Chain A
Amino acid sequence: MDHDGCVTCSDAGIPVRVIFLAGHDALCEDAAGNRAGIAVELVEPVEAGEVLLTHGGVAIGKVKADI
């Protein structure tokens, strides 16, 4: 997804929008249009359209802003 450099060294948190949910995973899209499956257990409940903050393939928070 949209990030340069090592995700953990940079403490990267990539904002992504939820496209659809499948169990505890969600297909999400970042601002550049890249899509990936993200684990969402740690921020449930989640709805399609919400913006999540992801780190290393896992959502760790929710973002109150558009992307």
Chain B
Amino acid sequence: MKYVDEFRNGEIARAVAAQISSLAKPGRHYKLMEVCGGHTHTIYRHGIKDLLPEGIELVHGPGCPVCVLPMGRVDEGVAIAERPEVIFTCFGDMMRVPGSRGNLLEVKAEGADIRMVYSPLDALRIARENPDREVVFYAIGFETTAPSTALTLQRAKKEGIENFSVFCNHVTIVPPVRALLDSPDLRLDAFIGPGHVSTVIGCRPYEFMPEDYGKPCVVAGFEPLDLLQSILMLMRQLDEGRCEVENQYGRVVLWEGNLQALKSMAEVFELRPYFEWRGLGFIAQSALKLSEEYADFDAELRYSTPGVRVADPKACQCGEVLKGVLKPHECKVFGTACTPERPLGALMVSSEGACAAYYNFGRKSYEKVEIGSRG
């Protein structure tokens, strides 16, 4: 099959949607959570919700690594970036995430040398090309991204590059999902598993969902038909009383994951005892830091970051949206005080954040028209 065209076939999509509808029991409300910014984006961009019956609700979990970063970690990044000897490198969406003293783009405008990169390997190249400057890479992302940072550090060590370090904010998917399942706020029926995280970690890490919580999980790809097929597979499990982990994205994901990537990560990283997540508080063993073997490349040690905690702005409801308790349009500042042009919180900054996705693709469903409200 051609990778894209066949996976966006409208006729097949409607046929799969019809099968999903036939499995939805009248009067029952199904809550399916996806925990991946890419899935949120596909759902809104391709109008997946419009194909589903009313009884099936798609809830967006904390799958965007930019969105879950607390403001304090942004402030620490800004503090490192402001150092005159530093060339600070980061992915695109990190540039506009608000900290308590501004974002990286504003600090860049004030003269800091901050450069957007597509890959941590680009940051390493900058370090090679600027031996008299200190290059710091602001590493974010789940297990999909962590291998690229690990590989970059392995290359840096092998080449003996000393002017390169990483400010590590990689997070892992299982602990926050467990925290959500433990939360009394949500009554989820099933999970749509993150396809590219699973390319690295495999499907086995999700077995706790059926075993400990009785919730089925289907690992899903990112094209519209991938998501629809995954939803169909979940509805079949719920209908048949089955509860297991299934892999819809078999053309990419192996059950055991990518063992070479996992080995690289095990060499370069270790688990932090705890890490703060926006909206979820502190979660044990949910994030990575550099291992002792790679301590020389650790920006937190090189620059003695103080570990500040900063509360979100009072009006910000990113936490509730991240937990799936609120839909983006239910946030009191959505589309008014908080827009993509002037974001209050990270979910409106990230192009795959739930609020940005709603704002760009989903608002038509929620327009309100007031008629004759004033005399």
Residues of chain B with a CB closer than 8 A to A61's CB? 199-200, 252-254, 258
- Pick from B41, B145, B199, B251: contact of A8, CB below 8 A: B145
The answer to whether the Cβ of B74 comes within 8 Å of any Cβ in the partner chain is no
A15 to B120, CA, bound (A): 19
Q: How many residues of A contact B (CB 8 A)?
A: 31
Give which listed residue, A60, A62, A65, contacts B144 with CB less than 8 A.
Answer: A60
Give Cα A54 to B70, complex, Å: 28
Q: Which of B248-274 touch A at CB < 8 Å?
A: 250-254, 258, 260-261, 264
A55-B258 in contact (CB<8A): no
Report A21 CB to chain B, min CB distance, Å.
Answer: 16
Q: Considering only CB atoms and an 8 Å cut-off, how many residues of chain B contact the other chain?
A: 50
A42 touches B4 (CB 8 A): no
Measured between beta carbons, the chain A residues less than 8 angstroms from B163 are none
Give the interface of B toward A (CB within 8 A).
1-4, 36-38, 41, 63-67, 91-93, 118-122, 140-142, 144-145, 147-148, 151, 155, 194-197, 199-200, 222, 250-254, 258, 260-261, 264, 350-353
Q: Tell me whether A67 and B4 are in contact in the complex, defined as CB-CB below 8 angstroms, given that A56-B148, A57-B122 are known contacts.
A: yes
Contact B352 A13 (CB under 8 A): no
Number of A-B residue pairs with CB-CB distance less than 8 Å in the complex they form = 136
Q: Hey, which chain A residues are within 8 Å of B3, CB to CB?
A: 15, 31, 51, 63, 65-67
State whether the Cβ of A41 lies closer than 8 Å to any Cβ in chain B: yes
Residue of A nearest to B65 (CB): A8
Q: CA A19 – CA B155 in complex, angstroms? A: 23
| A53 part of interface (Cβ distance < 8 Å) | yes
Residues of chain A contacted by B64 (CB below 8 angstroms) = 9
Contact B38 A60, beta carbon cutoff 8 Å: no
Q: How far is the CA of A25 from the CA of B79 in the complex (A)?
A: 34
Residues of chain A having any CB pair with chain B under 8 Å: 4-13, 15, 31, 39, 41-44, 51, 53, 55-58, 60-67
Contact indicator B118/A55 (Cβ below 8 Å): no
Contact of B251 among A31, A39, A64 (CB under 8 A): A64
B118 to chain A minimum Cβ distance, whole angstroms, is 6
Determine the residue in chain A with the shortest Cβ distance to B45. A4
State how many angstroms separate the Cβ of A42 from the closest Cβ of chain B: 5
**Which residues of A have CB within 8 Å of B37?**
9-11
B194 / chain A contacts, CB cutoff of 8 Å: 11
Given contacts A5-B41, A58-B151, contact A42 B258 (CB under 8 A): yes
Q: Are A11 and B142 in contact (CB under 8 A)?
A: yes
| Contact across chains for B352 and A9 when beta carbons are under 8 A apart | yes
